[in-house]
Structure formats: C-alpha cells, structure tokens
Structure 1
Amino acid sequence: MTSVRIASWDGDAAQLDVAADLYARTFAEAPYEEDAAASRASFVERIRRYAASKPNFRLLLARDEARVIGLALGTGIAAGDWWHDRVVPLLADDIRRRWFGESCFCVQELAVDSSARRSGVASLLLDGLLADLPYPTAVLSRHADAPAAGSFYTARGWHEIAAGIRIGDSPALCVLARDLQ
C-alpha cells in the first residue's frame, strides 16, 4: 500500500467536493446502485447540516499521494435524531438499552475508492473515526446485500444486532454495534 494519510475535514469546500465525488462513485456501484448526481447532492447537504448541528461530528478523509481514496463519517446520536428515531423502535428492548442507551456514536458512512479496497484504508478510517469518543457504544447499518461489508465489520469487532430492517422504502439493512470502552 502506498502512503496513506488520514485527516479530519477542515471545512474546505473543495475538499468536500472531492469527498462527495468519491461518495457518489462508491454508492453508484452494486449493490447500492444509487443515482450518482442525487447521491452526491444529498451527501454535500448532509455534511453541511451535520457539521453545524450534530454532536461529535467527524468526517475523515484518506489520501494517498495524489487524491482522496476514502472517507468516514460519524456523529453522536440520541432520541430526536432521524436515524435513531427510525431504527430504535424496530429493535427489542434489551437491544435498545444495551447498544443505544441515552446516546451512542453512529458510523454514518464509510467509503473507499475501488482502487484502494482491501489495502487497509477502511480499517484506518474506522479506527480514526472511533478514537477517543465519549460514548460507550457505536452503531451502524449496512446494506444486507453487501456481504463483504459484513465480513469487514465482523472482523473489526462489530456484532449484528438486527437484520432485515427497513427504514421507509430502503433496501433491507443489518444493524451492527460494538463497544467502544
């Protein structure tokens, strides 16, 4: 693997544009098959909104010598948060208490350029995203039709706590969690 640097997004609009391009390319691939233009616009809007309003907002970018090759986005979530309020009611009470508590950290996005996959970039991003957080647990959802993502997260200590979850008209999702302390 070439030298990879992980850094927090510094608010620079040009940096956000490059990250949005990577996000759109990644999630246009199977099994996601999102519309690239709509996905890109939604990502930019979410980053701006989350940066202004979410606790412990983190957007990390992975760069090699020439370009951005990965990104990881996460925030704190609690009751009142869109993701929290749509997922938590679908879970059993013991799962809710154990993994969500009063608040937790949510890995919102993890994307790596196809040329850099299986090189350790995703692990570096995830480790950086989860470092030194004031939460006991972290949660995320993954597309049920992305078994490679499931294998990656399991190898990194995540536990599947729910499968077949649908939020609105979303595809089936698996919810995963892990202890941070």
Structure 2
Amino acid sequence: MINNIMIKQFGKKDEDLHRIAALYCKTFIGGTYTSQDFESAANNINKHTSYEGFKGLKAKDENGTLLGFTYGYTSLPGQFYREKLAAQLSDQQIEWLIDCFEFVELAVDANVRRMGVGRKLHDRLLSEIDHNTSVLTTPIENNPAINLYISKGWEVIKENAAVISTDDVQVIMGKRIYQ
C-alpha cells in the first residue's frame, strides 16, 4: 500500500491532461505509442469531460507524481459506446443500461500497480455517483482487472462481446450501485 495518496477531481482542460493521456497510452497501447496515439487519447479524454454526469479522478503522491486516474459518465441513448454495448445485450441484459454510469477508464502507473491505487480510485469514483448501475468493459484476457472488479462486487453480464470489433472481444461487467 502507498500512503499519502491524494485523490482529486479532474475535468476539461485539466493541468494534468497530458500526463493522464500519457498514462492512458502507456497502459492501454504500450511504450511504443505514437504522438498520434497520444493526441487521440488526450482529445478523447477531453471530449468525455463534457459528457453528462462526467466524474474524473486522478491519484497523485505527495510529490505530485500522477499514479493513476479513472473516469466515467452517465450512459445515455445515442452515445457511441452505449449503442455498441446495447447491441451486444439481450432484452433482459439491456436493463443494466437504465440509470447507468459507464465506468470508462481505470489506469494505474505500472510502478505502483497492486499497491492499492486502483482500488482507491475505483471505490471513490463509485461513491460519488448517483446511478442505479454501472457497466464497464475490459479485454477477456485482462485477468488482473477482471479479478479486481469481481472482488469489488461486479458481475459478468456477457463474455466474448464484440463491442467494437470481432478482433477485440470484451467482457461486459455490471455493478448494482443502489438496490
């Protein structure tokens, strides 16, 4: 565990946006990401900050080093990813998307993984929303993430979901916030 983790909100034009985008790239693309990957990540994250119900959190140590971030927003009909999720779900499963918070990203610097940063970000983000459910996707081979989410009360809604493409199947997970 890391002591003295400071968790603060972030939003549009945040002073740490470039550090957040770089951490996104390192986490989800790898060390060989391009400047185009970086710009795309920064633009996408910044775009999401304007979505209804956006909540973003960043974790820093006492020296101001970015340790991780997480964010999400209200899932609404017509949104790109919401429609992709809905297309993968049965009539019964689609109920997960009613009054739903899309848990979009959670990334932790590789040097501090498994030290409680991700758990703290996860718990804090979900404690600050007022939706009945939350949904997320993660690659089917991302066992550390799947195990974290299951330990936090998430359940698998659908395995092997071709949310974006058949080449990148995902696990769709859900969590009931208010029951």
**Global fold match (TM > 0.5):** yes
Verify the 8 A CA contact 1:27 1:36 in the aligned structure 2.
no
What is aligned with 1:37? 35
Counterpart of 1:69 in structure 2 is: 67
CA positional deviation for 1:2: 3.2
SS in 2 for 1:154: helix
Give the aligned length: 175
Aligned to 1:50: 48
Identical-pair percentage: 25
Answer whether contact 2:160 2:171 (CA < 8 A) is retained: yes
Task: Say which is worse superposed, 134-143 or 19-28, in terms of deviation.
Answer: 19-28
User: What's the CA shift for 1:130?
Assistant: 1.1
In structure 2, the partner of 1:158 is: 154
Secondary structure of the corresponding residue to residue 93 of structure 1: coil
Paired residue type of 2:97: F
The two structures, once aligned, show a CA RMSD in angstroms of 1.8
Measured after TM superposition, the shift of residue 39 of structure 1 is 3.4
TM value normalised by structure 2: 0.90
1:140 aligns with 2:136: yes
Give, in angstroms, the shift of residue 42 of structure 1.
2.1
| Separation (CA, whole Å) in 2 of partners of 1:13 and 1:156 | 29
> Conserved in 1, the CA contact under 8 Å of 2:56 and 2:72?
yes
Q: Sort the Cα spacing of 1:160 and 1:37 in 2 relative to 1 into closer, same or farther, 3 A.
A: farther
- Preserved contact between residue 62 and residue 125 of structure 1 (Cα < 8 Å): yes
Q: How does 1:116-127 map to 2 (within 5 A)?
A: 116-127=112-123
Instruction: Report the TM-score, using the length of structure 1 for normalisation.
Output: 0.89
Query: What is the CA-CA distance between 1:71 and the residue it aligns to?
Result: 0.4
Residue 21 of structure 1 corresponds to: 22
